[in-house]
Structure 1
C-alpha cells in the first residue's frame, strides 16, 4: 500500500469518528482515470459535515490525534477560515505529501475577478463550483463498491482529450482559469473544447481587468508562476498564445515576438548556468515571468505598471524596473558604437549591474537586441576578469593605500580586459 493510500485510509477513519465524510477529488482521481500508476504526492479532499467548517474540524482532529500512521509526521498545518479550507504538509516513509482539505461549499462572485463568497454546501455543490469538468469528478471514501461521481462527464472529456469549462460563467468569474487550463492542456495533451474556446474568446473580448479586483492580478501572477514551473512549460507558453491568454496581460496581445519562446528557453538555461556560478536571488521561473513581461508590446512605463498590477514581489519589481531603465539607456546609444571591452565594462558597472548580473539576461531578448553581443560577453567573460596584480602586491611594491592605488588596479584590469576578444 502506498503512503498516500495509507494516509487516506487513516484519515477516512478519523473523519468517520468525527461524523464527517470524505471524498477524493482533483488530480488523484484524474490520474487514476488516465491510468497513471505513480502514487500521488498531492491529495485534494472534500469534507462534508453539518457544522461550518468541516475541513477545519478535520484539521483540528488531525492535530489532536494521539498518533499518525507509522512513519508519518505532520510538518505543518494551515487553516483558512474565510474559505473553509485547510492544508496539511506531511512527511511520509516515501517522501513529502501535501493534503488539501476543502469544506463542501457553494460559492459565488460579486463581480468578475473578486474573491468568491462561500457558504456550506454538499459534495455536488462543491463539484459544481469547480473550473473544468476533469476536476469535477469525485470518489467517495472508502472507494470500494462506490462509483465515481461525475455529473459533468469529466471522464468522457478525458477520453476525447478535451478541456471543458464547467459552466458558461467559469471564465467571467475567474479569467485566470484560462492559464490554469493551459497548464492542464500542456501536461495532459488536451485541446480546448469548442464551447470553451468560444467562452474564452467572448471573455477576452470584453476583458476589463477590474480596478477593484486586486486579488485577480495576484491570482494571475501565481498561475503564470505555476505555468513556468511545469516541466512542459514551452508547450504551455505555446498554448497560452494559441488560446488567447496573452490578452490577460495586455489587451489585444495576440502573438509573442519572433524568437520570443526561444529566448524564454534561453533564460531558463542561462539562469540555471548563472545560478551555478554566482549567487542569483531570482528563481528561474520568476526570471522567465519577467522575461514574458518584457516581451509585451508596451512602452517601458506600461510594462513597469503591469508588474505593479501583477503585485510582483518588491525584489522582482526592482529587477523589472532596473532592466527597463538599462534598456532605455542602451536605446539611446548611437548605432555603430565601438567600445572596447574595458569601456563596456566601465559603462555597465558604473550603472550598478556588477552585483546584478542577471539583468544582462533580461536585456538581450528579441524585443531589444542591438547590443546583445557585448552584453553577453560582459556577463559570461568580462565581469569575471580582475586586475592581474592584487592590491597587496602593489602595497608590497611600494604603493600607498588611497585613490591612486585604486586607479592603478582599474588600469591593470582595463589592460587585461582589452586583451580579450
Structure 2
C-alpha cells in the first residue's frame, strides 16, 4: 500500500502505479514458484514412496534368494558329505581291512606255526600293520584339524638325511630317492613325527605317479624373506619332485581337497595331500605345487624359519635308563573295554606291577578308598556314564594330590590341554609295552 499527499504530481502517480504493478507481478511470480515447489514436493514424495516400495520388494526378493541359496548350499554340502563318506568307505575302510587281514590271518597262522623264525616274521608283519593303522588314524585326525601338533625346533637337514633309509625301504626297488640339501639349512618349528609322515606321504604319492620307476628328488633350501613376499618371512622350503606323468589343471585344482584321489577305489584314501596341507597350515606355512604333463610334479612345503636353539642331540629321557625288572608296585587301571583292560593288565604284569582293575571313575574312587596302597592310577579318558578320565583325575587331585595319575586315549589331543593343566601326561593309543613303561616311569619320577 502506498500513500500519496495531495496535490499529486502526474509523474509521481505514474511512478507509484508502476511500482505497484511490478510488486503485484512479483507476488504472482512468488505464488507460482511456491505452487511449483509444492507440486515438486508432492511428486518427490510420490517417487520416494514408489522407490521405497521397489526397494522393499527387491529386499524381499533378495532374502528369498539368499534363503534359497543357503538351502542349495546345505544340499550341496550334504551331497559332498555323502560323496566323501562313499570315498572314505572305499579307501580308508579298504586300507583298514587289509591291515586287519594281516593281523587276523597272522594270528591264525601263528597258532599253526612252530618255526621261531617264521613266527618272528609274522609278528613283525602284524606289528607293521598295527603301526600303519595308527598312522592312518593320525592322517584322519590331522586332516580334520582335531589332531593338535606338538612342535619343537627341528634340524630339518638331519631329519631329511635320516629318513632316506626309511624311504628306501618303503618304496619300490625301481624308485630311487635322491636327497639334495643346500648347506646351512635353517631349523624349523614343527612336529617331527607329523613332518616325517608328511614326507612319507609325498614320497609315496611320487612313487605311485611313476608306475614304471623313476627318481624322487627331495630338495631343501633356505628362502630369505623379501618385502612383499609372504610377509617378508624367512622360510625353509622342502620339495619332493617326481618324474611321472604330471597332472592336468583340473586335477591340480583339487589335489589338496580331502578324499580326492585319482587312484582306483581301495588304492588310496585321498587323505595324504589333505594331511600335507593341514600340516603346513598348522605349522604356519603353506604348500606350493608345480606340475607339467609328461614331465612330472613338484610339491613344496614352505615352513617358517625358527630362531630357537636346537635341542641337544639324543637327550636322555627321564625314564629311558630304567630297567623293566626294577619296576614294581600297585597300579589302579580304569578301563571300560574288557578286552583292552585284559591286555593292558597283562602288559602291566609283565612290567612287574600288581593291577587292580575297575571299569569306570565311580568304581575307581571306591577302589581307592579300599586299597591299602596304590602307586599310580592309569585311566582311559573316554568312558561311558557321563564322567571321563579328566573328571576322575580332578577328583583324585582333590582327594590324593600326592598320587601319580597317567591318562590314555585314542583321541588324546582333544583332552591334552586339560590334562597338562593338571600336570598329567596323556599316553596316546595305540601304544606298545615300551611306550607304557616309559610313560609310567615318567609319571612316577615326577612324583619324586
The alignment's TM-score, normalised by the length of structure 2, stands at 0.23
More contact order relative to length (CA 8 Å, sep ≥ 6): 2
Which structure has the larger Rg? 2
The alignment's TM-score, normalised by the length of structure 1, stands at 0.25
